[in-house]
Amino acid sequence: MPPPRKINLLPPELRIWLQDALRQRGFADYEALAEELNSKLEDTGSELRIQKSAIHGFGSEYREFVKLQEQASGWAKEWLGEMGMEDQSQRQSVLFQMLTTLAFKVMQSEVAKDGQEISPQNLHFLARMMKDVMSSSGIAQQMRDKERAMQAAKLDAAAASGEITADFRQRAREIMGFA
């Protein structure tokens, strides 16, 4: 079995930093990225060093991933927009239903096989995909809850400063659904 790629040995926070830096720089300037990344690794006390070529290889893969994500998101927005479902939670709900349908088809084909033919890898990927989709749904709900809390705080601050009355604040909270 070959050794793991050095990029895969990066701590999660540096991997996220690298992904952000790649997007910000338009998937270019790999030499400077290698210097910055290695400086950050050195600052953490790690002896791991990443070459420009490894970052370039990772960047190429990541660029394709980002491109596919953007295409899928664009398709979902267009398709769901035509159906009058611009809301993020509705898009996620529809996409989750689509993935559930695909998951059912995969499970159906696996169940039809004999025990030795069942692919544990397919089942693993299926379970992970479903977990990720469910997790992202939770993130979207958290973002909505945070936005509502910020709106409520603004209403409270406006009432406290005298910009609006307490009755107006309460009525606005009721209208917005967080009385």
Average pLDDT, stretch 100-120?
Answer: 70
Both ends of the chain: CA-CA distance in Å?
59
Q: How many C-beta atoms surround the C-beta of residue 177 within 10 A? A: 7
Per-residue pLDDT band at 47 (split at 50, 70, 90): very high
pLDDT of residue 50: 94
Average pLDDT, stretch 29-50?
Answer: 94
pLDDT of residue 24: 94
Secondary structure element (H or E) that encloses residue 73, with its range: helix 52-82
Alpha carbon distances (Å) from 4 to 1, 10, 169 = 9, 11, 57
Average pLDDT, stretch 107-135?
Answer: 71
Average pLDDT, stretch 46-72?
Answer: 88
Q: Report if pTM > 0.75.
A: no
- Among 179, 82, 92, 77, CA closest to 135: 92
pLDDT of residue 91: 64
pLDDT of residue 116: 67
